[in-house]
Chains A and B, each alone.
Chain A
Amino acid sequence: MFELLKQPWPWYVSGPLIGLSIPLLLILGNKSLGISSSLKHICAACIPGKIPFLNYDWKNESWNLAFALGIIFGGYIGADLLTNPSNIAISDATIAVLKQNKITDFSGYMPMEIFNWQSILTLKGFIIIVIGGFFVGFGTRYANGCTSGHSIMGLSNLQWPSLVATICFFIGGLFITHLMLPIILNL
């Protein structure tokens, strides 16, 4: 059993489990799944300034921060206690195209040659980590949701704005992957 749990979980196990978090959160606490809000609550708690959008009682939304904290624990359990003994089995086609773009280390969850502390000071690392992270925070708040709040929760509730958001997420992602990353990865 333990050995089985250590293997990567197939989509038909993980997808329904992720979907079940929706009724669990609704029934256990009347909460709608959504994670990017936690970033806003952190801003409201730490650096609200005089910004009206950030001046609200974030403690009323602290469940969202507790949930985010839990995700950190989940990452620890998943990666360090239930360690998958092999590399992530991405498709050969993806490995081939990434190898053509200077990526050589496929051992972690992300390419370690980019995602390390020294790399942040290089143009490539700065664009991918710092600018990329900034876009994630800016974009999710501007769009009022992320993959969890729009693509999973919003679509599960059949809300058309979430479908528009999800399509835009993909357009942005395809633009970067196919037109920008070939340049950025070769910097």
Chain B
Amino acid sequence: MLKTIKYIILGTLFGLVLTKTEAISWFRMQEMFRFQSFHMYGIIGSAIVTGIISIQLIKRLNIKTLTGEKITIERKPFNKGTIIGGLIFGMGWALTGACPGPIFAQIGTGASVAIVLLLSAIAGTWVYSYFKPKLPH
């Protein structure tokens, strides 16, 4: 229970930042894909720089989790899906102006139609899972 609350709080902070910086906005995605503003590139770029520094510090200083576990980071393997799936997601991203995180945040803002976005994305995930053995990987 306490664990669940911890992740709800972290998620709340994450969603708050996404919302207040307008990274959940369809308009901001259009601006990004049209190269008409630095805003989204600044967000993604500075998030990555912060992430790189943090992970390097964790690795070099051998920082452990609060409970003393060794920190492990899952490595995502490369396969054809990285490219084909990536292209399909990119198309969905530009159409909806949202990636999975912002869909949840949009629901929170009261944009009730984002529930349809979420259900469609869940359907997409399910259909992929169903056809996974037949798709090129």
Give chain A's interface residues, CB within 8 Å of chain B.
5, 8-32, 35-36, 38-40, 42-43, 47, 49, 51, 53-54, 62-64, 66-80, 82, 84, 88, 90-91, 93-94, 97-98, 106, 108-111, 115-117, 119-120, 127-162, 164-178, 180-181, 184
Chain B nearest Cβ from A34, distance in angstroms: 8
Contact with A along B23-49 (1 / 0, CB 8 A): 111111111011011111111111111
Are B121 and A133 in contact, CB atoms less than 8 angstroms apart? yes
Among B14, B71, B83, B95, contact of A26 (Cβ-Cβ < 8 Å): B71
Give chain B's interface residues, CB within 8 Å of chain A.
3-31, 33-34, 36-52, 54-55, 57-58, 63, 65-66, 69, 71-78, 81-101, 103-114, 116-130, 132, 135
Among B45, B92, B106, B116, contact of A136 (Cβ-Cβ < 8 Å): B92
- What are the residues of chain A within 8 A of B105 when measuring CB–CB? 71-72, 74-75, 78
Q: List 3 tightest A-B contacts by C-beta distance, closest first.
A: A70-B11, A74-B15, A172-B90
CA distance A153 to B73 in the complex (A): 9
Are B55 and A156 in contact, CB atoms less than 8 angstroms apart? yes
Among B8, B27, B51, B111, contact of A153 (Cβ-Cβ < 8 Å): B51
Least CB separation from B27: chain A residue = A90
Least CB separation from A26: chain B residue = B71
Are A137 and B125 in contact, CB atoms less than 8 angstroms apart? yes
The majority secondary structure among interface residues of chain B is helix
Given contacts A28-B10, A75-B15, A152-B47, contact A142 B106 (CB under 8 A): no
Are A176 and B25 in contact, CB atoms less than 8 angstroms apart? no
Given contacts A14-B43, A21-B13, A23-B55, contact A146 B100 (CB under 8 A): yes
Interface CB pairs A-B, < 8 A, 23: A14-B18, A15-B43, A17-B17, A19-B49, A21-B14, A43-B122, A63-B4, A71-B18, A72-B108, A110-B97, A129-B113, A132-B91, A132-B96, A133-B117, A135-B89, A136-B98, A138-B124, A144-B77, A151-B44, A156-B50, A164-B78, A176-B33, A177-B33
Given contacts A11-B38, A74-B108, contact A139 B92 (CB under 8 A): yes
Residue with the greatest number of chain A CB neighbours at <10 A, chosen from B20, B25, B40, B78: B20
Are B22 and A88 in contact, CB atoms less than 8 angstroms apart? yes
Chain B nearest Cβ from A177, distance in angstroms: 4
Least CB separation from A70: chain B residue = B11
Chain A nearest Cβ from B60, distance in angstroms: 13
